[in-house]
Structure 1
Amino acid sequence: MQIDRNSLCSTSLLVLALAVPSVAKAQEVGDNGRIVVTGTREQVLTSEGPTGSRLDMSILETPATVHVVTGEDIRQRGDLAIVDAVSRAPGVTNAGDPGNAGLTFSVRGFNGQGSVLQLYDGVRLFPNNGSISFPSDPWNVERVEVLSGPASVLFGQGALGGVVNVIPRGPNFDALEVDAELGYGSQDTWHAAVGVGGPLGEMFAFRADVSYRASDGFVDRGESENLAISGALEFAPSETFSLTLRNDFGNNEPTRYFGTPLVDGELDTSIRRENYNVGDSTMRFRDNRTALTMDWQLGENVSVANTAYYLTSNRKWRNLETYCWIAADGNCPNGIGFGTPGNIYRADNFGIIHDVDQYGSQGHVAFSSTLGGGASNQLLVGYDVNYFTLNYSHQFASDYQEDEVAITGFDPGLFLDTVGLIPRYHTDTRTWAIYAEDRLEITDQFSLVGGIRHEENRVGRWNWVYDAAGTTIIGDSPALNGGADAYKDLSSTTWRVGAVYQPADDLSLYVQYSTAVDPLGTLTTFSGSASQFQLTYADGYQYEAGVKGLFLDGNGSFTLAAYRLVKNNLFTQTAPGGAIDQVGQRSSQGIEASIDLQLPAGFGLSANGTLLDANFDDFAGFEGNTPPGVPESSANLELRWAGMDRFSARANLRYVGRRFTDNANTFRVPAFTVVDLGASYNVTQNLTLSVTVQNLFDEDYAYTTYGNEQWILGRPRSVDVALRASF
């Protein structure tokens, strides 16, 4: 991708130059001309949480665990990617790697895009082949909401572990707002971004954001760049009706780095800058999403909402992906290769293209009514229809590439592809669902909340058929149900019920029981080998109880939840060499907690953490083991201080417990702790200079893995400087 960097820099500097001596939000000028910070942090518990319910309830009133990461905090911390921002929420850790496009999470002992559903502005994103690549940049994020635990009732299959909802910044009718940022840091990392929004007359408002990032990376040949462009236009002819047209584009070319192989089972820090991929490797994700949203208040007690959308994704990989260190006996410790002791064995030349179209519509009608005895009721009835198509290309039939290189000072070589990236199969997935939610407020203190959803999925898959030369497509053939039929029909019904007791306006105690379904693999690329099986249904369930509230006159908030989450009907092989059956069970039980405090003298504290016990309860002889990629403990801590007129600072700590990479728990990834520091100085009322030190103690750690002994390392100690303008 060719980007005119000078133009982007000029645009950002122009916005900075336009900063006028007006008073920034959350600040005022005192009698002596000094800037006095008067703003307070948003109290998210009292705000509406659309990810937890569509009934316009606050998070405090919702019988579930919903956490919010604000866009302002994301930008002040200097988080470079969506996955970095989301993993600040309690119990959420990164499970992404280059093969799944990096947007994958672990929540409550369950991981992957088949168990942790992702939404953009409340609409679900369908993964294919375990990949989601949108959105690509956190600049335009208003907030991220994380619903922990089953959410199939609200959003459909694939939400057993939880839901991550990225909500972008939208138009506003209040006043013109302009934000800009220009930053530079370690590894020749730089960022330029501009955002502007406000009214266009009495009936129109808009929002537009552009962000560009580039870096040389911390490994050899580790260059990356990312462009994100968003725009939204809202038409509101009255206070009761609005239409919002939105488009989001992302072109992401991430670092073509698939990890560092362990040496004799340990991380050798002397090779942490080595990149064992081929020299002409490729990784690119391009997404574009258009949506039209309507909100209409038909009367005092009836409202209608609907969102129609269209998303295209084109992803390309062309890499040599698997590496291992060759031991003294000439073999790799994990048994995947062999060669000269001390060298690095390389294999798996994967060239893949995903060409995806996804479109659909979701909407609902909401009713509210007053009942006798002071009770009231809110009822919502909705629908959800989607259509997803995929054309999948690869070069797996070409010559298999394997070689070995010296551990350092090697020629990376070139990608071996003798046939090209040829279309192999295509799929279409059609889903429709009807759902209902209801909240019965029996008294001011006690309410019951329930929901039910029925969903039908029809999955079709065809393999392309080529001529004798293998170069020209002459047709296609069914690839499901033994080849006799191209389609597989899957259906599910899920439900949930909860109760909330509020002994005071700022305190809630709740319990909830919910069910969920997950696909076996990825619904949109359902394989022929899995066509005989059903969705995991009914036995996917969770019990949860919790308490959340405010204290210190609203300057403090806390949440505490305990749960048990069970998933049945896993794939397993009950006898070595025997048939694969849909049996087995895995579960997790744990505690999540969070606290946020605004203290005197400008101090503040936010902390969250989780402890869980995740197990295979019945799974092919691995009973009692921890499922791969699941840390059983994690925590985040932030300390803030804004006690001076122009200066503020913060320190962040992120802890992730040990994980395993295999079912047998043979390969262990140690826990890690990373500390970041940040400081900001208000040069003027509108201009702020910030410095961020990431990974202060230069921790060598695996933030994720690719294979059993191939660690994808986190960014080493880095210093980033940014100039931000806001008016």
Structure 2
Amino acid sequence: MPTHHLARLPRTAIAQAAFLVACSACAQAQTAAPAAAEATLAPVTVQSGAERENPTAPVSGFVAKRGLSATKTDTPLLETPQAISVVTRDQMEAQGVQTLRQVTAYTAGAVSNYFDSRVDSFSARGATVSQYQDGLLRTYGTYNSSRPDPYTLERVEFLRGPTSVLYGQGSVGGVLNLTSKRPQAETAREVQVQVGSHARKQIAADLTGALDANGQWLYRLVAVGRDSGTQVNHVDDDRVVLAPSLTWRPSADTSLTLQGLHQKDKSGSLIGFFPWQGTQLPNQYGQIPRSTFISEPGWDAFDTENSSWGYLFSHRLNDSWTVRQNLRRTVTEVDYRTIYTSFTANAATGRPARPVFNSDNRTVVRDAVWNLNTGRMLLIDTQLEGKLNAGATQHTLLAGLDVQRNHSGQSAWRAVAPSIDVYNPVYGNFTAPSASALVRQPGVAQRQLGFYAQDQITWGRFTATLGLRHDSAKTDTEGRPAAAVDDKAWTKRAGVTYQMDGGWAPYVGYSESFQPLGGLDVYGTPYKPTRGKQWEAGVKWQPPGQGISAFVAAYQLRETNRKTNDPANPLNSLQIGEVKVNGLDAELTASLASHWDLTLAYGYTDAKIARSNAGDQGLPVASVPKQTGSAWLSHRFATEGRGGWTVGVGVRHTGSQWSGSSAISTPSATLADALLAYDAGDWRVAFNVTNLADKVHITQCLARGDCFYGQGRTYALTSTYRF
């Protein structure tokens, strides 16, 4: 990280500290106000009965009814004027998820097109989905971080549509917020052993409880160790994770949780970037096997090391005001070595700049790449929350200041590698480069400062949510002052819900987003950020006293300033591109008293290019399935408690996708999953199967010339002992 970047960090801390002091002063002034003013504060009501659900703590079953991601406050999902899904720990366990992309497999409108060892990527509503963890950005840069392990997560919240008013820069797709497992006051310990397909062997442990008799100190330790192969020959999926956390609660008003994570992964190239022929289109030698590895054994790698530390702090200043601050520092190192089907043109042979077979229809030319990637992130989010009464209305006020300091670096080497037979690969004709061949690339530093304010107003059965934010996002490329970008933007959100009898809540909402692109066109003009606007209307349903949560949401959104081709210069891009999306998301999640758990989800996305110079105006947006759907049903055969057999089955459907070319499209695919488990006291044994029929399916074909395979049948036998 450059020295000038580090020099700014103390000022970040000073700014955050000043904001904390200002928050405290504001709250203290409110406390010291005259008695007449104090009379307007909301009364404190003590309720008997079951304890209210905590949006960061464990939830029994599939249904959560409160969340943090949509408002950054503890808010019932019924009062959120935007479609949001929560995947609980119990749902992840029942469906046997092994990767983050599997977590959202039964969530409406979420699409993950790549079965990839490098990243878990998602899209929704025609655009990418940003990933956050505990309310802070999880990654910055490309292929310079580890994939999260679902075993370390308590829940995952998926907020659809533009979310910049709370999170700053991001696309119109939405936010996937991961909630880490945190220390709990009640002692709970488990050890888990798992074996499965591709010689998978994993051991994991999750231990939590109080360290002292008064419960002021709580701990949690989550650990994972794995040795595994994959469906692609010579590619491992090995992992070691250690995630300790410690909570100090000196009083009911104050909480400080320290979090740490160290993760090391060893994997390789699951994706070969195979040509259309031999994957989706026919080839005289048949379809390329999913297990084909065309890189070089012993050299190919995607090895990551990720270390992070941070804290979650909360202090209630008085009955009305609470101040919070979350901080995380992350350092990642990635050794990425791969050889894949070439995109390099050869004028002498007439080879195009896309993946194709050689004339023998068996061999392909390959590109070889070696990158050493680094990532450095410092994230701080400080919030002041107040609860006040004003006449017949109740207000939950939120003011926030968040800061990001991110840096990505890379050393790179690239070359054309010898051809290989994809139907009978023979290795050893590739000469690996030495470290001296790596060339250091300019580092990229990004700084963001955001101020946001929100008011959640309750009046009778109405709840209105109003939000406003201002961001300043600066990006500097080392040694390239002309490429410096300084973007500023205001974003807004407004919505209202109405709670009816029977747990019904219709709503309507408006939200915005902005996302800096960075870089310059050939005329030296910086690219403007893309901007998104969305209108959404829907209805939510949570019948009182029942474990059911459902919603239907219709939306219309527009994203502007997308890059399109410059007809006067093929090496340039203009910013007149515009995408319009109309769609509908519907989802039902239930955990019923008769031991049935189920999810139903459907997504309809009509994403069209509204303005463009590329001759594609009016065509669908590439790689966006128009329809997706899923259903999961499981039943526990027990009269009480967790004992007995559990049987479950799920079906997932992804519709066909426009590739961006009339020459090929991505076909639809329907896959099935299954569960068989037995609980006996402290023991649980579960057998999960993904892609039960072992269907060979293509997840995506691109106009640039390549297609990608999805995950074949995998199984896992998991034995868990709780004590």
CA distance in 2, matches of 1:56, 1:616: 38
Q: 2:636, 2:402 → 1: CA distance?
A: 46
**1:348/1:172 Cα in 2 relative to 1: closer, same or farther (>3 Å)?**
same
Name the structure 1 match of 2:633.
639
Partner in structure 2 of residue 190 of structure 1: 201
What TM-score, normalized by structure 2, do the two folds share? 0.84
Structure-2 residue corresponding to 1:475: none
Q: Contact between 2:145 and 2:333, CA under 8 Å: does it hold in 1?
A: no
CA separation in 1, counterparts of 2:404 and 2:139?
9
Q: Distance in 2 between matches of 1:380 and 1:186?
A: 48
Q: Which letter maps to 2:181? A: R
1:337 CA drift (Å): 5.1
Is the alpha carbon distance of 1:598 and 1:499 closer, same or farther for their aligned partners in structure 2, counting shifts above 3 Å? Answer: same
Matched residue of 1:276: which SS?
coil
Distance 1:337 1:128 in 2: 29
The reply on whether 1:41 has 2:35 as its aligned counterpart is no
2:462 paired residue among 446, 461, 473: 446
Matched, 1:658 2:656: yes
Give distance in 2, aligned partners of 1:123 and 1:250.
18
Residue correspondence of structure 1 range 204-219 to structure 2 within 5 A: 204-219=217-232
Contact between 1:494 and 1:515, CA under 8 Å: does it hold in 2?
yes
Offset at residue 65 of structure 1 (A): 0.7
> Residue in 2 aligned with 1:518?
515
1:263 has 2:277 as partner: yes
2-structure distance, mates of 1:54, 1:75: 26
Instruction: Give ranges in structure 1 of 5+ residues lacking alignment.
Output: 1-38, 463-477
Q: CA deviation at 1:96?
A: 4.1
1:496 paired residue number: 493
What letter is aligned with 1:656? Answer: T
Q: How many residues align?
A: 647
Cα separation, partners in 2 of 1:143 and 1:665, compared to 1, 3 Å: farther
Distance 2:192 2:268 in 1: 23
8 A contact 2:502–2:544 mirrored in 1:
no
- Per-residue CA deviations over 1:511-561 (Å, capped at 9, x if unaligned) read 0111111222xx6xx578697234435x51000001001238414331100
Is structure 2 residue 537 aligned with structure 1 residue 540?
Answer: no
Post-superposition Cα deviations, 1:650-672, rounded to whole Å, max 9, x if no partner, equal 111111112234x3353311111
Q: Distance in 1 between matches of 2:107 and 2:523?
A: 34
CA shift for structure 1 position 282: 1.6
Sort the Cα spacing of 1:293 and 1:609 in 2 relative to 1 into closer, same or farther, 3 A.
same
Instruction: Show the counterpart of 2:177.
Output: 165
The match for 1:224 among 219, 223, 237 is: 237
Alpha-carbon distance, 1:580 to partner: 2.5
CA distance in 2, matches of 1:120, 1:557: 24
Write out aligned runs for 1:326-337 (5 A): 336=355
Pair 1:580-2:583 in alignment: no
1:122-201 matched pairs, under 5 angstroms:
122-129=135-142, 131=143, 133-173=145-185, 175-201=186-212
> Per-residue deviation at 1:88?
2.8
The CA distance in 1 between the partners of 2:253 and 2:524, in whole Å, is 47
Give 3-state SS (helix, strand or coil) of 1:93's partner.
coil
Q: Which residue of 1 aligns with 2:109?
A: 91
Counterparts of 1:235 and 1:597, CA distance in 2? 35
5 Å matches for 1:17-416? 41=61, 43-44=63-64, 46-47=65-66, 49-96=67-114, 98=116, 101-111=118-128, 116-129=129-142, 131=143, 133-173=145-185, 175-201=186-212, 202=214, 203-259=216-272, 260-263=274-277, 265-266=280-281, 268-269=286-287, 271-279=289-297, 280-322=299-341, 336=355, 339-372=358-391, 374-396=392-414, 399-405=415-421, 407-411=423-427, 413-414=429-430, 416=432
2:521/2:527 contact within 8 Å kept: no
> Which residue identity does 1:608 align to in structure 2?
A
2:597 is equivalent to residue 604 of structure 1: yes
Aligned-residue offset at 1:74: 1.1
**Structure 1 residues 217 and 401, CA, compared in 2 at 3 Å: closer, same or farther?**
same
Distance in structure 2 (CA, Å) of the matches to 1:262 and 1:584: 28
What is the aligned counterpart of 1:626 among 616, 620, 629? 620
1:551 & 1:502 partners in 2: Cα distance?
11
Work out the CA distance in 2 between the residues paired with 1:182 and 1:197.
18
Deviates more, 1:507-516 or 1:232-241: 507-516
Q: Higher mean Cα deviation, 102-111 or 709-718?
A: 709-718
Indicate how the Cα distance of structure 1 residues 587 and 624 shifts in structure 2: closer, same or farther if over 3 A, else same.
same
Are the structure 2 counterparts of residues 138 and 605 from structure 1 closer, same or farther at C-alpha, using a change threshold of 3 Å?
A: same
Deviation at 1:599, TM superposition (A): 5.0
Cα distance between partner residues in 2 of 1:433 and 1:516: 13
How many angstroms does 1:285 deviate by?
A: 1.9
Unaligned runs of 5+ in 2: 1-58
For residues 434-465 of structure 1, the C-alpha deviation after alignment (integer angstroms, 9 at most, x for no partner) is 1111112122x012111111111121112xxx
Matches within 5 A, 1:689-708: 689-704=685-700, 708=704
Deviation at 1:335, TM superposition (A): 5.0
Distance 2:144 2:413 in 1: 21
TM-score (ref. length: structure 1)? 0.84
Tell me how far apart the structure 1 counterparts of residues 431 and 252 of structure 2 sit (CA, whole Å). Answer: 58
Tell me whether 142-151 or 570-579 shows the greater mean CA deviation.
570-579
Cα distance, 1:136 vs structure 2:
2.4
Q: Distance in 2 between matches of 1:59 and 1:272?
A: 41
SS in 1 for 2:466: strand
Moved more, 228-237 or 575-584: 575-584
Between the aligned partners of 2:99 and 2:107, the Cα distance in structure 1 is 14
C-alpha distance in 1 between matches for 2:589 and 2:528: 39
Instruction: Tell me: CA distance 1:447–1:551, structure 2 relative to 1, closer, same or farther (3 Å).
Output: closer
SS at match of 1:551: coil
Partner of 2:671: 674
* C-alpha distance 508-332 of structure 1, shift in aligned 2 (>3 A): farther
Residue 269 of structure 1: how far off its partner (Å) = 4.4
Asked whether the 8 Å contact 2:105–2:652 carries over to 1, the reply is: no
- Secondary structure of the corresponding residue to residue 92 of structure 1: coil
Q: Is the 8 A contact 1:395 1:421 kept in 2?
A: yes
Find the aligned partners of 2:239 and 2:700 in 1 and give their Cα distance: 21
Q: Check 1:395–1:528 CA distance in 2 against 1; reply closer, same or farther (3 A cut).
A: farther
* Counterpart residue number, 1:18: none
Instruction: Specify whether residues 200 and 305 from structure 1 end up closer, same or farther in structure 2 by C-alpha distance, changes over 3 A only.
Output: same
Is residue 594 from structure 1 mapped to residue 592 from structure 2 by the alignment?
Answer: no
**Change over 3 Å in CA distance of 1:238–1:430 after alignment to 2:** same
The Cα shift of 1:407 comes to 2.6
Deviation at 1:565, TM superposition (A): 1.3
Distance 1:409 1:607 in 2: 43
Matching residue of 2:30:
none
The residue identity in structure 2 corresponding to 1:51 is: S
Amino acid at match of 2:697: Y
Residues of 2 paired with 1:303 and 1:355: CA distance? 37
Query: Residues 186 and 337 of structure 1: is their aligned pair in 2 closer, same or farther, counting only changes over 3 Å?
Result: closer
Partner amino acid, structure 2, of 1:83? R
Counterparts of 1:206 and 1:291, CA distance in 2: 15
- Tell me the alpha carbon deviations over residues 220-267 of structure 1, each in whole angstroms, 9 at most, x when there is no partner: 212221122111000000000011100112212234222344435537
